[in-house]
Structure 1
Amino acid sequence: MTNDKKIPTLYEWAGGMPVFEKLTDIFYKKVLKDPLLEPVFKHMSPEHQQHVAHFMAEVLGGPKTYSDSEGSHYHMVHKHLGKHLTEQHRKRWVELLLETADELGLPADPEFRSAFVGYLEWGTRIAVINSQEDKLEMDKEQPMPKWGWGETGGPYIP
């Protein structure tokens, strides 16, 4: 017996692009009021939260809005160079994003939250690592990360 039921992407399960755009809009309003994060983000462009929404949505299985018209993985990584983010920045960023996800009613089932938190942990830790660098040798054609319901595929190797 086969299971013909299509498993939705994390993007679909969360509710699609309107959910990600609302999540980042509300989240970044909180960031700009946060004493730890505000200094890091106070000079962000007016489009920043929308770019983050589109990037996150694409990584989680949504449309290629970010990579087709707003940037690339290379572009996103390079936005973090020289920012010197700390573990405290990272933890607070994740904490506020998850708080906002709860407020908006993003799915709270263990499978979704495990995958979603896994992506946030992975992505923010990469951002902290890259933020310590002023220059990074990286293939400009490196594909966008893809995050699903399963595992990452092995240990991080710098």
Structure 2
Amino acid sequence: MADTVPTLYDWCGGTDALHRLTEVFYDRVLADPLLEPVFRHMSPDHRDHVARWLGEVFGGPTDYTDELGGYPAMLRHHIGVGITEEQRSRWAALIALSADDAGLPDDPEFRSAFVAYVEWGTRLARANSAPGATPPPDAPTPRWGWGEAPPYTG
């Protein structure tokens, strides 16, 4: 069965879907008074980089690791930022809303896996961004899957 279950990357629509997601999401972020100050100086490539990170995490191409430095590079973007719980929570809520607007699948199995990764990843980013945090510098890029409930294709 494992050979017939699509990755989260394939299920959501791949690169195009994740780029739509990051476009919609970062438009929301820049309009949000809590998050805009954190992201106001993001590079023009930031949206693409996040789409590539999510693609790799969800089982797609390893572009983020191969071309952008993988987990160590992602970690460097968070060290010392001091993300608050309120900012983390808002980020998670906005990306979930953005998934709807970007047309990502809305089946419960996909959304459960998507939200589980967002919760895990944002909580890790908050912890890694805390003053004095010393996270492991060379962990692998995570690969996220379906968890307990693969998609129903019957």
Q: TM-score over 0.5 for the alignment?
A: yes
Match of 1:146 in 2: 143
Do the aligned residues in 1 keep the contact of 2:7 with 2:58 (CA within 8 Å)? Answer: yes
- Please point out which of 69, 72, 75 is paired with 2:70: 72
**CA distance, structure 2, for counterparts of residue 65 and residue 137 of structure 1:** 23
The size of the alignment, in residue pairs, is: 148
Q: Which has the higher helix share?
A: 2
Unaligned runs of 5+ in 1: 152-158
Unpaired runs of 5+ residues, structure 2, are: 149-154
Q: Distance in 1 between matches of 2:110 and 2:7?
A: 10
Return the TM-score normalized by structure 2: 0.90
Shift of residue 135, structure 1, vs aligned partner: 5.7
Could you say if the C-alpha distance between residues 42 and 124 of structure 1 is closer, same or farther in structure 2, counting changes exceeding 3 Å?
same
Q: How much does 1:134 deviate?
A: 4.7
Partner Cα separation in structure 2 for residue 28 and residue 123 of structure 1: 17
Amino acid at match of 1:20: L
Contact 2:70 2:141 in 1 (8 A): yes
In 1, Cα distance between equivalents of 2:78 and 2:65: 17
CA RMSD of aligned residues (A): 1.6
- The alpha carbon displacement at 1:136 in A equals 2.7
- Post-superposition Cα deviations, 1:86-124, rounded to whole Å, max 9, x if no partner, equal 111011111111111111221111111110000000000
Identify the residue that residue 101 of structure 1 maps to in structure 2. 99
Conserved in 1, the CA contact under 8 Å of 2:25 and 2:94?
yes
In structure 2, what is the Cα distance between the partners aligned to 1:69 and 1:20?
18
* Structure-2 separation of matches of 1:105 and 1:52: 17
Alpha-carbon shift at residue 78 of structure 1 (Å): 1.9
